[in-house]
Amino acid sequence: MSKFFCIVAAAAALAASLFGSPAFAATEITFYYPIAVGGPITKIVDSYAAAFQKQHPDIVVKPVYTGSYQDSLVKAMTAAKAGNAPDVAVLLSTDMFTLIDNDLIEPIDTITTSAADKAWLTSFYPAFMLNSQSGGHAWGVPFQRSTIVQYWNKDAFKAAGLDPDKSPATWDDMVAFGKKLTKRDAAGQVSQWGLEIPSSGFPYWLFQALATQNDAILANESGTKVDYNGARVVEAAQFFADLGQKYEVMPKGIIDWGTTPKDFFEGKTAIMWTTTGNLTNVRQNAKFAFGVAPMPSKLRGGSPTGGGNIYIFKNNDKAKEAAALEFARFLTTPNMAADWGIATGYVATRPDAWDTEAMKKYAADFPAALVARDQLKDAVAELSTHDNQRVTKALNDALQAALTGTKPAKAALDDAQAEANRILHPYQN
């Protein structure tokens, strides 16, 4: 009998600890975050939440891992539709218009009140803020952001008679170097390609680098108009397709995003374009000397930025919005930004993060980490519009059609422009 009572008492105690409210009125906030790179990210995020709670005993943060970027948006939107939105979330910077159109997020500059908060909003790299502002408001703050860089195999360069310390600096270099680096056997089978620019899934992002270098901007700042078939855009798309079809320095057809780093490690390609987020991955897996360089240039240099911002969701409980803001501020202090950058390979989002001791030590040890930061001065906003996924899909389809040779670049992009115009029409008045 006493055993029975013991069990009942234990169960009651457990229930009380699970469902009972703590003595003080703590504000509880939910934090959704995705994982898009390798490493023990969940552990790091949990430790950040714990450190925050130590500083703010009156706020309880519940971090929730929500899958990929795509999954995270789906979960946040569905939860919001069910009246149970997260209070704060990391989502793609390009999801901004989608979140605004669905009336889900609060402009950060309307929650902030103090002068210190206003100063905080101006402390980030301007290139990262391009994707965070619209209609005179800041809707998100940069958290895990990246750019595209080129990685090259120095050993392969040496073997092809090229200067191993000089990466392609122009489009002409890309073709000329590529021709030297592409190795064919007697039967015409290629054992090593000059270059790989991935084109599966989201080819628009890598293409945007080429368009930027040809000095074309794909969308206006308010996200209501796109320029998919301007002469320079078409020229960039034609060059993208020509790399495989005409110059034959890149594999024909679609190049998979996921296997591109593997191709690079296996020596199947001498140069690859991919995110700075792969830096740690390449450092650990490349069995040869490699270099990291900014994008080459045509009329100018440059790359789009990428990655995720922190958004604060609308809530009638203003205490929760304030708590969410406090947490966002905590995650983006110079020390935290530096720590996150070192742990993941993302670019630390503010200049003063690079002056911290930890970051200085990391950069001295691994100078390649500085390339992405230095490229920020040439960076442009990642393509983002209203009804973003649909408008970018039109461009993705057109690029894939041009790359697989099913349509000429000009015709494919004309179609994409017409489709984008149709989708964006309701937002243009």
3-class DSSP state of 151: strand
Candidates 128-136, 341-349, 369-377, 384-392; binding stretch for another protein (CB under 8 A): 384-392
Residue 165 sits at φ, ψ, to 5 deg, of -100, 10
H or E, element range at 205: helix 203-213
Please state the closest distance from residue 103 (CB atom) to another protein, in A.
4
Closest approach, Cβ 115 to another protein, in A, equals 32
Q: Which of 337, 383, 403, 424 binds another protein (CB under 8 A)?
A: 403
Least distance between another protein and beta carbon 105 (Å): 11
Q: Which of 72, 53, 69, 71 is nearest to 61 (CA)?
A: 53
Dist. CA 424–CA 243, nearest whole Å: 32
> How many Å from the N-terminal Cα to the C-terminal Cα in the chain?
76
Pairwise CA distance, residues 266 & 307, whole Å: 27
Count of residues of this chain found to bind another protein when the rule CB under 8 A is applied: 37
Q: Which of 111, 190, 286, 343 binds another protein (CB under 8 A)?
A: 190
Q: How far is CA 399 from the centre of its chain?
A: 20
**Which residue blocks in 293-376 are alpha helix, DSSP H?**
318-331, 334-344, 357-365, 369-375
Contact between 101 and another protein (CB under 8 A)?
Answer: yes
CB atoms within 10 A of CB 8: 10
Judged by CB under 8 A, the chain residues 261 through 290 that form the site for another protein are 263, 266, 268
Nearest to 344 by CA among 392, 303, 399, 283: 283
Cα–Cα distance measured from residue 273 to residue 174, given in angstroms and rounded to the nearest whole number: 12
* Binding residues for another protein restricted to 102-141, rule: CB under 8 A: 102-103
Stretch that binds another protein, among 22-30, 254-262, 289-297, 348-356 (CB under 8 A): 254-262
Considering Cα of 273, then 276, then 282, then 283, what sign does the dihedral take? positive
- 70: contact with another protein by CB under 8 A: yes
Does residue 425 bind another protein (CB under 8 A)?
A: no
Q: Provide the pairing of β-strand 141-153 with 27-33.
A: unpaired
Report the site for another protein in 206-235 (rule: CB under 8 A).
none
Are the CB atoms for 373 and 348 separated by under 8 Å? yes
Return the residue of 254, 358, 370, 411 that touches another protein, per CB under 8 A. Answer: 254
CA distances from 108 to 53, 74, 88, 174, 282 (A): 22, 22, 11, 42, 36
Window of 107-115, 197-205, 288-296, 358-366 that interacts with another protein by CB under 8 A: 197-205
In the region spanning residues 293 to 352, those forming contacts with another protein, defined by CB under 8 A, are none
| Closer Cβ to another protein, 200 or 224, answer by number | 200
Min separation Cβ 401 and another protein, Å: 4
In the complex with another protein, the residue whose CB is nearer, 95 or 339, is 95
Q: Nearer to another protein by C-beta: 60 or 190?
A: 190
Strand partners, 29: 61
CA dist list (Å): 313 to 75, 164, 352, 353: 13, 49, 28, 26
Residues 170 to 189 in contact with another protein, rule: CB under 8 A: 187-189
Q: What is the contact mask toward another protein in residues 16 to 55, using x (rule: CB under 8 A)?
A: ----------------------------------------
Name which of 415, 43, 53, 421 is nearest 234 in CA terms: 415
- The nearer residue to another protein, 227 or 397, going by C-beta atoms, is 397
User: What is the nearest approach in angstroms of another protein to the Cβ of residue 204?
Assistant: 12
201 binds another protein (CB under 8 A): yes
56 or 183: CB nearest another protein = 183
77 touches another protein by CB under 8 A: yes
**Contacting residues toward another protein, per CB under 8 A:** 70, 74, 77, 98, 101-103, 187-190, 199-201, 251-256, 258-259, 263, 266, 268, 387, 389-390, 393, 396-398, 400-401, 403-404, 406
